[in-house]
Amino acid sequence: MKHIVSHKNPDTDTIVAAITYAKLLNKQGIEAKPVRIGVLNKETEFLLNKFNVESPELVETLPEGTEIVLVDHNEKSQSIDNIDELNLTGIIDHHKFNIQTSGPLNIRAEIIGSTASIVTKLYNEAGIEIPKVDAQLLISAILSDTLYYRSPTTTEQDRQIVQDLNKIAEFEDLEQHSLDLFAAKSNLGDIEVEKMIKLDYKIFNFGGDDYAIGVMETTNAQYGINRKEEILDKLKEIKKNDNLKGVFYSIVDILNEENTTMTSGAEELELLKTIFGAQIKDDMAYLGNVLSRKKQLVPKFEAHFN
Ligand SMILES: [Mn+2]
């Protein structure tokens, strides 16, 4: 049984890719099931409830030798804890690659806005009809990962795939659906601050040191900014406890396309000024129209440190 593994701090794209890719394999007569290694975010929870889809099973580790395929990630630090004991046979992803494997594997990687777009192409290449609910999920993941085409990671293919999928999914108003998803994601209630920071959070090695970058994509940036004091305290604490060189937390205002970033200290703030020409005010860095960690934040950090 192949286990389709979504990434840590899962987002809608990785969960939808795991569910729909496992189903595609099932339709091809291959035993497969999706798994997740973290709590669903509010957006994904809303989506699965709306279309009455079961959440992938939550696991911490898998039995030694289990065959796995990674979706929407390829770095071990973002994957299941005992990955080195498992039989990794495939990766479907749209991120930069940073993995060393002990055996050969099937890799499908593209420069495209979402892993869900790639899974749609795999369905089409296999000549297998996409069930309506899967078309609904795939569209949702593409709209989510591209921030309704606002992210610079968006490609013409993503738009075309959504148009084609919508012949099956039949959303009357795609933009309204994206707003519903973003509203669900933005509704954080009184979530504990560390959980909030780590909802969408990745560790990167820049120039030999580990840095963490958390992102809050939201239609209600004020919610995050109002919690500034506790966020700043927590970022310092995480830096110390998790042995990081720096922690960044970007509040991405999806509708106004603005990035406000908080950091674990003054040095990190200074770094943002150097790398991004950020304006610093009230202990926060204003980065302007920087919406994508993958395409805008990480490459600039790497260029700076290398
Ligand atoms: Mn993705």
Q: Judge whether 137 and 16 are in contact, CB under 8 Å.
A: yes
By the 10 Å C-beta count (0-12 exposed, 13-18 middle, 19+ buried), 181 is classed as: buried
Rounded CA-CA distance 110/116 in Å is 11
The Å distance, Cα 140 to ligand 1 centre, comes to 12
The Å distance, Cα 304 to ligand 1 centre, comes to 24
The pTM of the whole model exceeds 0.85:
yes
Q: What pLDDT score does 306 carry? A: 86
Instruction: State the fold for domain 2-183.
Output: inorganic pyrophosphatase (n-terminal core) (3.90.1640)
Kindly state the helix (H) or strand (E) to which residue 78 belongs, with its residue range. none
The Å distance, Cα 145 to ligand 1 centre, comes to 6
In the chain, DSSP assigns E strands to 2-5, 32-36, 57-58, 67-71, 87-93, 106-109, 201-206, 209-218, 246-253, 258-263, 279-281, 284-288
Render each residue's pLDDT in the chain as its tens digit; 306 residues: 999 999 999 999 999 999 999 999 999 999 999 999 999 999 999 999 999 999 999 999 999 999 999 999 999 999 999 999 999 999 999 999 989 998 999 999 999 999 999 999 999 999 999 999 999 999 999 999 999 999 999 999 999 999 999 999 999 999 999 999 999 999 999 999 999 999 999 999 999 999 999 999 999 999 999 999 999 999 999 999 999 999 999 999 999 999 999 999 999 999 999 999 999 999 999 999 999 999 999 999 999 998
Amino acid identity at 45: E
**DSSP 8-state symbol, 265:** S
The Å distance, Cα 57 to ligand 1 centre, comes to 20
Q: Strands across the sheet with 87-93, in order?
A: 57-58, 32-36, 2-5, 67-71, 87-93, 106-109
* CATH architecture assigned to 193-305: Roll (3.10)
Rounded CA-CA distance 47/292 in Å is 22
The Å distance, Cα 283 to ligand 1 centre, comes to 30
Rounded CA-CA distance 130/57 in Å is 22
Rounded CA-CA distance 34/62 in Å is 12
The Å distance, Cα 278 to ligand 1 centre, comes to 26
What are phi and psi for residue 296, nearest 5 degrees? -115, -50
Domains 2-183 and 193-305 share a fold: no
The Å distance, Cα 176 to ligand 1 centre, comes to 21
Domain ranges of the chain: 2-183, 193-305
Residue corresponding to tokens 């071990």? 76
The Å distance, Cα 115 to ligand 1 centre, comes to 5
User: Distance from first CA to last CA of the chain, Å, rounded?
Assistant: 41
